[in-house]
């Protein structure tokens, strides 16, 4: 009923744990059997190990949270050698989230992941371009195009590009990525935001800006998923503030074939499996035979 | 680790802005471990981490300072209200292995986990607790060697715990409190190479090691307070205080 096949991969259901909120699946697997999920997107991976940011990394806001973890991760080689075997044993679709600071770094990382056992590569273009003054690759379509084009050349596996909501024009961004060979689009990543400590008269975060996620971004994320789904002919993965099955259904009605659940895992550690169960019951009660029937019906 | 809804047995103010929350539940825990607590539905969105202050056969209690929205909501809990509880979490310490004489050095609300260490350690323990003015969290320590300091001089020695603590007397030191205090304790212990453990505090989102927001800077890189800690060896932690 919830099963869906995309890019030749069978998803038990459309619910995927979002990158950066689920580690490599180990921690949540201690709480429940994560193999019931449709898929798991890994913590953002870079070619080399990264220690991440110093100072505050988390700040709660009304209906959401700001994070400034800074892509802390053990590096792609370590991931392939020490985490991937475990992840593959979980019997769910494994999506490697690839991040980078330069096109060369993205390409080298993509080559390694493409040779590994991951099922899908999700290209995170919401990373600062170290060589171009730190502007995020995901802001200008022209810049994103270059990354996708170069990565596509070395990737045979399904390639999904994860968009930043901070893109100048989200629809043009999505269309550009598809034109450069993206097999799918996931959106949205976190919103660029900030907070100020009024007693210290300073930004809360050392980097000044941080990424906003959680229920408060949902209506904007939903609008973007709706617009992008209408504009591209590849599958769309919707995310941004999904907290329960109703939110997930909304994203699918807006055009998403799959959804990702991120911050909700922190709000309720069982969020992902509750959403799977809730979607199943919703379909039953509504007399819908297959989840495919509601994708993009709005 | 379990995720349960527990009944409030008691939630009392023990000092200005300091509360003790006791929940009905049976757990196997180690000193230094913590739980993620949440007594609300929508706002704030995240649970809050609290170390174990005390535990009996059928209860577990936490000592907390009201600092923000979460703790303010907790402070309003009444008997039989429900609290969602995830845990026990974190490494904790197997205190049965401790040999020799131990010093527990706490400052402010950082004394909370140390009170449970004091209860569980069978070896000889001296306790140094420092407060700004009002003293709290010592009701289970009546028959222990307890040295109190207050900044105001209201109770005990006027000054800081680090003024009166001498590492020479101890085989092991465990500390929890403000970074400035822990840094001082660390420097004092380094002089005599006295083994030291630090209990680190951090804001957390998931509490189980997945989100990486509770980073602790160590000699081996960033470690997770919630999963690799909250107890870290003194020599491995890099304190910026």
3-class SS letters over A197-253: ECCCCEECCCCCEEEEECHHHHHHHHHHHHHHHHHCCCCEEECCCCCCHHHHHHHHH
**Which of B89, B118, B145 is the endpoint of a domain?**
B89
Band of residue B178 on the pLDDT scale cut at 50, 70, 90: very high
- Residues B80, B104: one domain? no
What mean pLDDT value characterizes chain A? 96
B212: nearest CA partner in chain A: A69
Q: Please tell me if residue B72 touches chain A, with a CB cutoff of 8 Å.
A: no
Q: Which of A32, A51, A57 to mutate to test the interface with B (most CBs of B within 10 A)?
A: A57
Domain with B165, as residue range(s), is: 95-199
What are the helix (H) ranges across B52-152?
A: 69-75, 111-120
**Are B213 and A57 an interchain contact pair (Cβ–Cβ within 8 Å)?**
yes
Query: Is residue B154, in this structure, part of any structural domain at all?
Result: yes
Give the up-direction half-sphere exposure of residue A90: CA atoms within 13 A in the CB hemisphere: 32
Query: Is residue B238, in this structure, part of any structural domain at all?
Result: no
- In sequence order, what E strands does chain A have? 4-6, 9-11, 15-17, 39-41, 58-61, 64-67, 93-98, 120-124, 159-162, 184-187, 191-194, 196-197, 202-203, 209-213, 236-238, 258-261
For chain A, which domains are there? Answer: 4-52+70-189+214-294 (3.20.20.70)
Query: Is residue B45, in this structure, part of any structural domain at all?
Result: yes
CA B159 to mean position of chain CA atoms: 21
Q: Please tell me if residue B74 touches chain A, with a CB cutoff of 8 Å.
A: no
Query: Is residue B213, in this structure, part of any structural domain at all?
Result: no
Domain count for chain B: 2
At residue B151, does pLDDT exceed 60? yes
The torsion angles phi and psi of A182, rounded to 5 degrees, stand at -65, 135
At residue A132, does pLDDT exceed 80? no
At residue B44, does pLDDT exceed 70? yes
**Are B222 and A72 an interchain contact pair (Cβ–Cβ within 8 Å)?**
yes
CATH code at B10?
2.40.30.10
Q: Which residues contact B190 (CB under 8 A, 6 or more apart)?
A: B234
**Are A266 and B211 an interchain contact pair (Cβ–Cβ within 8 Å)?**
yes
Closest CA of chain B from A142, distance in Å: 32
- The strands making up A64-67's β-sheet, listed across from edge to edge, are A58-61, A64-67, A209-213, A191-194
pLDDT tens-digit series, residues B98-146:
989 999 999 999 999 999 999 999 999 999 999 999 999 999 998 889 9
Assigned token pair, A83: 């985490």
For residue A163, give the DSSP letter.
Answer: P
Assigned token pair, B154: 């209201």
Query: Is residue B221, in this structure, part of any structural domain at all?
Result: no
Q: Which of residues 201-230 of B touch A (CB under 8 A)?
A: 203-206, 208-215, 217, 221-222, 227
**Are A30 and B1 an interchain contact pair (Cβ–Cβ within 8 Å)?**
yes
- Residues B133, B44: one domain? no
A177 is catalytic: no
Query: Is residue B166, in this structure, part of any structural domain at all?
Result: yes
Task: Tell me what pLDDT residue B241 has.
Answer: 52
- Residues B78, B118: one domain? no
In chain A, % of residues over pLDDT 70: 100
- Residues B104, B192: one domain? yes
Q: Is residue B106 within 8 Å of B114, Cβ to Cβ?
A: yes
Task: Tell me what pLDDT residue B143 has.
Answer: 83
| Alpha-carbon gap, residue A253 to A265, rounded angstroms | 22
At residue A80, does pLDDT exceed 70? yes
Assigned token pair, A284: 């039953």
**Residue B212: its chain A contacts at CB < 8 A?**
20, 23, 43, 52, 57, 69, 72
Q: Which of residues 93-122 of A touch B (CB under 8 A)?
A: none
- Residues B131, B186: one domain? yes
Residue identified by tokens 């039989």 is B80
At residue B78, does pLDDT exceed 70? yes
Q: Is residue B34 within 8 Å of B50, Cβ to Cβ?
A: yes
Task: Tell me what pLDDT residue B1 has.
Answer: 79
Q: Please tell me if residue A48 touches chain B, with a CB cutoff of 8 Å.
A: no
Query: Is residue B26, in this structure, part of any structural domain at all?
Result: yes
Task: Tell me what pLDDT residue A284 has.
Answer: 97
Task: Tell me what pLDDT residue A135 has.
Answer: 84
pLDDT tens-digit series, residues A28-43:
999 999 999 999 999 9
Band of residue A114 on the pLDDT scale cut at 50, 70, 90: very high
- Residues B85, B103: one domain? no
Q: Which residues of B3-14 are buried (b: 16+ CB within 10 A; e: fewer)?
A: eeebebbebeee
At residue B169, does pLDDT exceed 70? yes
Q: Which residues contact A16 (CB under 8 A, 6 or more apart)?
A: A37, A38, A39, A40, A41, A93, A95, A237, A258, A259, A260, A261
Query: Is residue B209, in this structure, part of any structural domain at all?
Result: no
Closest CA of chain A from B133, distance in Å: 23
Closest by CA position to A160, among listed A41, A265, A294? A41
Task: Tell me what pLDDT residue B137 has.
Answer: 96
Give one word for A98, left, alpha or beta, with left for phi > 0 and alpha for psi -120 to 50: beta
CATH code at B102?
3.40.50.80
């Amino acid at each position: 009923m919830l099963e869906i096949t995309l890019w030749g991969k069978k998803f038990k259901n459309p619910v995927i744990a979002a990158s950066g909120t689920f580690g490599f699946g180990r921690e949540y697997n201690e709480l429940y059997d994560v193999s019931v999920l449709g898929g798991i997107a890994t913590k953002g991976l870079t070619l080399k190990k990264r220690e991440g940011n110093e100072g505050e990394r988390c700040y709660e806001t009304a209906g959401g949270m700001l994070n400034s973890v800074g892509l802390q991760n053990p590096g792609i080689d370590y991931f392939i050698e020490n985490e991937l075997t475990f992840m593959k044993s979980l019997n769910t679709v494994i999506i490697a989230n690839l991040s980078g600071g330069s096109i060369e770094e993205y390409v080298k990382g993509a080559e390694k992941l493409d040779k590994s056992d991951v099922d899908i590569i999700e290209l995170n273009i919401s990373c600062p371009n170290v060589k171009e003054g730190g502007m995020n690759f995901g802001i200008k379509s022209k810049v994103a195009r270059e990354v996708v084009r170069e990565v596509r050349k070395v990737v045979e596996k399904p390639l999904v590009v994860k968009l930043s909501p901070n893109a100048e024009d989200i629809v043009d961004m999505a269309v550009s990525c598809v034109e450069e060979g993206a097999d799918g689009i996931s959106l949205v990543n976190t919103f660029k935001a900030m907070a100020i400590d009024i007693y210290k008269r300073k930004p809360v975060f050392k980097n000044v800006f941080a990424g906003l996620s959680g229920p408060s971004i949902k209506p904007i994320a939903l609008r973007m998923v709706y617009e992008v789904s209408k504009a591209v002919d590849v599958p769309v993965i919707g995310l941004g503030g999904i907290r329960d099955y109703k939110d997930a259904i909304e994203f699918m009605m807006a055009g998403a074939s799959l959804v990702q659940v991120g911050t909700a895992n922190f709000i309720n550690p069982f969020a992902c499996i509750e959403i799977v169960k809730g979607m199943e019951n919703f379909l039953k009660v509504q007399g819908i035979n297959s989840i495919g029937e509601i994708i993009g019906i709005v | 680790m379990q995720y349960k809804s527990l009944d409030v047995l008691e939630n009392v103010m023990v000092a200005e802005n300091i509360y003790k929350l006791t929940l009905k539940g049976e757990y196997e825990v180690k000193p230094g471990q913590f739980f993620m607590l949440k007594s609300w539905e929508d706002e704030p969105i995240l649970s809050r981490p609290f170390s174990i202050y005390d535990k009996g056969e059928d209860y577990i209690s936490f000592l907390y300072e009201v600092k923000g929205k979460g703790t303010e909501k907790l402070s309003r809990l009444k008997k039989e209200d429900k609290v969602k509880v995830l845990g026990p979490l974190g490494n904790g310490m197997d205190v049965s292995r401790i040999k020799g004489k131990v010093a527990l050095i706490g400052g402010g609300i950082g004394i909370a986990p140390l009170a449970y260490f004091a209860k569980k350690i069978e070896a000889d323990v001296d306790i140094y607790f420092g407060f700004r003015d009002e003293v709290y969290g010592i009701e289970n320590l009546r028959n222990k060697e307890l040295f109190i300091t207050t900044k105001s001089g209201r109770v005990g020695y006027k000054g800081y715990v680090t003024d009166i603590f001498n590492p020479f007397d101890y085989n092991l030191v465990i500390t929890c409190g403000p970074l400035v205090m822990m840094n001082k304790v660390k420097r004092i212990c380094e002089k005599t190479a006295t083994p030291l453990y630090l209990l680190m505090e951090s804001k957390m989102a998931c509490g189980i090691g997945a989100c990486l927001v509770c980073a602790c800077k160590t000699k081996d890189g960033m470690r997770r307070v919630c999963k690799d800690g909250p107890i870290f060896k003194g020599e491995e932690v890099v304190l910026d205080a």
